[in-house]
Amino acid sequence: MESFMDEWIKTHERDVLPGAMLMKYGPQDYVGATIAVRGTLYFKGSHTPAIREALCKCLDAYEAVAKDHLTWLWREEPPDGPDKYAYAKAPPMRALIKKMGEQDQVSFAYVGGEKPHDASPWMFFASGMREWEAKLGWNGLDSLRFSVPKEVIEKNPTLFQKLFVDFARLLKAEHGHAGYALNLSLPRTEPNEPTEAFMALKMAGLDAGESVMIGSWHDKGIDDHIFGIGWLTAINKTMVETVGGLDTLRAELPASWFAKYDYGNGLVIQAGPEPEIAPVELDPKPAIYVLPAMALREIRLVDNDDLHYGSKDGEPRLTGLAANQWLARFDVPEEDLMGYKTKLLGEPKQTKETTLPDSL
């Protein structure tokens, strides 16, 4: 493994990790995981024409930024055609959707990467239920996950916020979150989960888990509870009222650090001018994440299912207690909250350059 990694480092950037890196049979010569800034939104109605058109509009906006970097389109159980296209040869999403009925599953995953199974910081992945699955009422929520390289955020400090808020508005999102994440190879997710687990335990600001799986957690409460908080956190109107309303959020999350945007069906909270990766060895509990985690604790999932498949040879996975501890990583005792409010004073504030013009 050591000689493989020496060669890998010579030809890949620091944030790009090989496939199956922590598996007994790894590492392998493909990109298994890579750092990105990623947003996830949960919503309803992907079987309807209105929401399918909304997803197309989301892709239009994403392609305006990412088109030159996308290389592959993956689909799960398409009603016709292949499950994989080279992006340059793929029919437009609208054309593919026009051929779909309400009982066809929405599954469009646009990714970058030289090989079709390479992970990439460029990703737009929409997944939704068939009509009959949605009407049962116990299958959870549809999801959209999209990401860009961190360098895009550095050069365009409000671009990602605009995409996130606009997508939430178009989809009438129930909730969602965004921040740093480790994008895994889409068709080879399972062998790269240990890499995600290892990195997430080293950097508290990294997201973890797979949106389609999390969206299915109806019994765990995903329909009316958020999975977690992040740099950006979307909550619907009912959730806003559950935590005390906008005035309470303004009091608990002061505007100098926390911007708030109306997306029609709810509120997006931006925590700080840019996402925090929160290295555990330096500061595993930045106040900019602790305070929203505590302010929104009433609408957060308290208990979750396994985020990963079970370990095969002792490799790290976010399952059982480890998954629950990760979910609660920004929780603090109530009596410590004042200390974190004081700590916030030393953390970066919002600026005009890092907030959208319509902040509440």
Residue 304 has pLDDT above 90, yes or no: no
243 in a domain, yes or no?
yes
Residue 305 has pLDDT above 90, yes or no: no
6 in a domain, yes or no?
no
- Reported as a pLDDT band with limits 50, 70 and 90, residue 3 is confident
Cut 0.85: pTM above it? yes
Task: Please report the pLDDT score of residue 100 as a whole number.
Answer: 96
28 in a domain, yes or no?
yes
238 in a domain, yes or no?
yes
- Percentage of the chain beyond pLDDT 90 is 94
Whole-angstrom distance, CA of residue 37 vs CA of residue 163 = 12
8 in a domain, yes or no?
no
Domains in the chain, number:
1
> What mean pLDDT, rounded, does the chain reach?
96
DSSP state of 349: P
Q: Is 34 exposed, middle or buried (0-12, 13-18, 19+ CB in 10 A)?
A: buried
SS3 content of the chain, % helix, strand, coil (to 5): 35, 20, 40
Containing structural domain, residue 43 = 16-354
Residue 201 has pLDDT above 90, yes or no: yes
Task: Please report the pLDDT score of residue 83 as a whole number.
Answer: 95
Tokens of 59: 């892709």
Query: Range with the lowest mean pLDDT among 6-10, 66-70, 325-329?
Result: 6-10
60 in a domain, yes or no?
yes
Mean pLDDT of 286-313: 93
Task: Please report the pLDDT score of residue 307 as a whole number.
Answer: 94
189 in a domain, yes or no?
yes
220 to each of 152, 211, 223, how far by Cα in Å? 35, 14, 9
CA dihedral sign, ordered 242, 344, 356, 223:
negative
Task: Please report the pLDDT score of residue 288 as a whole number.
Answer: 98
Find out whether the peptide bond into 27 is cis, omega within 30 degrees of 0.
yes
- Reported as a pLDDT band with limits 50, 70 and 90, residue 161 is very high
> Tokens 């604790």, residue?
297
